[in-house]
Amino acid sequence: MASVDKPTQQPRGRGSAVWLYFKDVEGKENSAACLACKKEVLRNTGSTGSMRRHIESCHPIQFKELLNTEADRAKPKCKDGPQPLKQQKLSTMFAQANAQEWSDSHPRSVAIDRKILRFIVLDSQPFSVVEGEGFRDLLKEACPQYRLKSTRFYHDKLETLYEEIKLQVQDEIDRLRDFGFTCDLWSDGQLALMSFTIHSITPDFERKQLLLCVKPFTDAHTGLNISAVFSTTLGEWGIGLEQVSLLLRDGASNMKLAGELLKVPSAHCAAHKLNLVVKDSISGHRGLKTILDKARSIVGHFHHSVTAQANLKTLQLQLKLPTHSLVQDVDTRWNSTLAMLRRINEQEEAFSVYRTRHRPIEILTDNESDVSKKAVKLLEIFEVFTLEVSRETASISCILPMVKVSLEHLQQVDCFGITYLRDDLVKGLTQRFSDEKKSHHHIVATMLDPRFRLDFFDEEQRNFAKAELVKAMNEILRETSLPTVDGDTAIDEDLSDVSIETEPQTESQPQQLSMSALFEKSSTSSAAAATLRDLSRAGTLLPVSNRGNAMDKLARSIQFIAVIAD
């Protein structure tokens, strides 16, 4: 940083100490030249505000000297006796306070320490980011009073912060009762990691999702080893196996075996199943495979040439096409293949012109283009399905309705020329989601969802659903010392009028109790939280995918029992 010797004398007629660091510019009355950096600063006649701001922002050392000089001038001078104190300007007082560096224990300094740690964690930044010139310059400009610490400081501080947050998470877990778990295991050839996320509902009926840990997995990826790590993790957080209402996993045999060894209910991730349905169907379609190979070749050509990208952009503007970039598909994400085909179909006119003007690339034939567009139409419903089960608010209640809607969509779409692709998709969807059609959890959750109720069930499923709901209701009623209901009369055209007979009290008349009254009684009694939470064990609050959440508040679910009708 540039420095300058402070002049021994201030220019005549210049009362402000700022002039110790400036000089007049010959021929320019409204300008002053900085003695440190020689930069000319515009100023209003009689004002030194812009000059002062220049020193403060560009020359902090000189600015501190200026503050000291102004402070010295403000001190009383004792010549022939006490002199009256000269009042300091408020601007000078605030400037002096702001120029002082905070101690590490200062509340604002501690708060910024935590914000930097949060930045490192949330944005997956290395600890060395605090040593970067740009980061240091940013903090110095934003908060000059803060003293940036070393990499080691933030590393050690993060471990302390982790222990604090872990205690908070443990406190939340201790207030919960039942949990749905999502578990995933992946590796990059050098490091294998295993993650655990819990899904539950609080006593105040708020959905809760907590990532417990992501830990290295160094043993062989066997079902026995996976179950051992899972069990150990539960023990670390004080969660018993009896509290696990569901373990959501992928379809790998080792993950399935782990669930069986733990003796907990487990289910295959819906998003993962959809990925397998589409990938298997596409791989069995020779004509579509050829189209995909050509599409990848086209995308690769433009991705590997800056000149080709520029020429394509020019053609898009000339042909009034969307100026979109091409998309390269990824093997583990089927919807990236859909996105690639969409972009290829969108830009086919540009490819044809590019081929004649620039370079003869291999593009899709008319027949292949027609097949590609029909394939996109077929696969669109799977994109909707995938997005639905991947939402933060997703629930297993949507799976059975989405399967049915998807099958109906596949039958309605024009698939001339790719009938076998349609047939493979139907077959894969039916087979891979066959277990869900008989699942207690999925059926009860769908029935309790006000969007679906019994609308997507056939007669056999409706009868099964009603019986399962009665079973779940009776389990709750028994635990809350309320009378149980008769399976033959509990669910009819209007559940709100269900009559529950109890043992006669003082008279021989049966006591009438509606479902709405039951809800009101539960919500005002000490057993309310237990009553509602117990429904999670009946399958109404379970994660749907590795990014999924639980079903909406169970309180709402109980209310809707009263309006489930054929």
Residue 302 pLDDT class (50, 70, 90 cuts): very high
| Least trusted range by pLDDT, from 84-88, 291-295, 538-542 | 538-542
**Contact at 8 Å (CB) between 381 and 409?**
yes
Tell me the C-alpha distance between 8 and 5, whole Å.
9
**Contact at 8 Å (CB) between 564 and 450?**
no
Average pLDDT estimate for 418-422: 89
Q: Which two tokens stand for residue 91?
A: 């601007």
| Least trusted range by pLDDT, from 4-18, 306-320, 494-508 | 494-508
> What is the pLDDT at residue 292?
93
| Strands, sheet with 244-249, edge to edge from the N-terminal-most edge strand | 207-216, 192-201, 179-187, 244-249, 266-268
Tell me the C-alpha distance between 415 and 420, whole Å.
9
Tell me the C-alpha distance between 147 and 110, whole Å.
11
DSSP-based three-state secondary structure for 510: coil
Average pLDDT estimate for 278-286: 87
Tell me the C-alpha distance between 226 and 246, whole Å.
16
Unique residue bearing structure tokens 């190979």: 293
> What is the pLDDT at residue 545?
40
Cβ neighbours of residue 144 closer than 8 Å, sequence gap 6 or more: 60, 98, 99, 101
Q: How many helices (H) and strands (E) does the chain have?
A: 21, 8
Q: Which two tokens stand for residue 44?
A: 């209003």
Q: Which two tokens stand for residue 93?
A: 């007082």
**Contact at 8 Å (CB) between 17 and 26?**
no
Q: Which two tokens stand for residue 540?
A: 């109404």
Tell me the C-alpha distance between 292 and 214, whole Å.
36
Phi/psi of residue 212, nearest 5 degrees:
-75, -45
Q: How many CB atoms lie within 10 A of CB 535?
A: 25
Residue 295 pLDDT class (50, 70, 90 cuts): very high
Residues written for the chain = 566
Tell me the C-alpha distance between 209 and 543, whole Å.
10
Q: Please return the burial class of 267, using the count of CB atoms within 10 Å of its CB with bins 0-12, 13-18 and 19+.
A: buried
Q: Residue 201 forms beta bridges with which residues?
A: 207
pLDDT tens for each residue of 116-168:
999 998 898 999 999 999 999 999 898 999 999 889 999 988 888 888 889 99
> What is the pLDDT at residue 94?
53
Q: Which two tokens stand for residue 386?
A: 């995938």
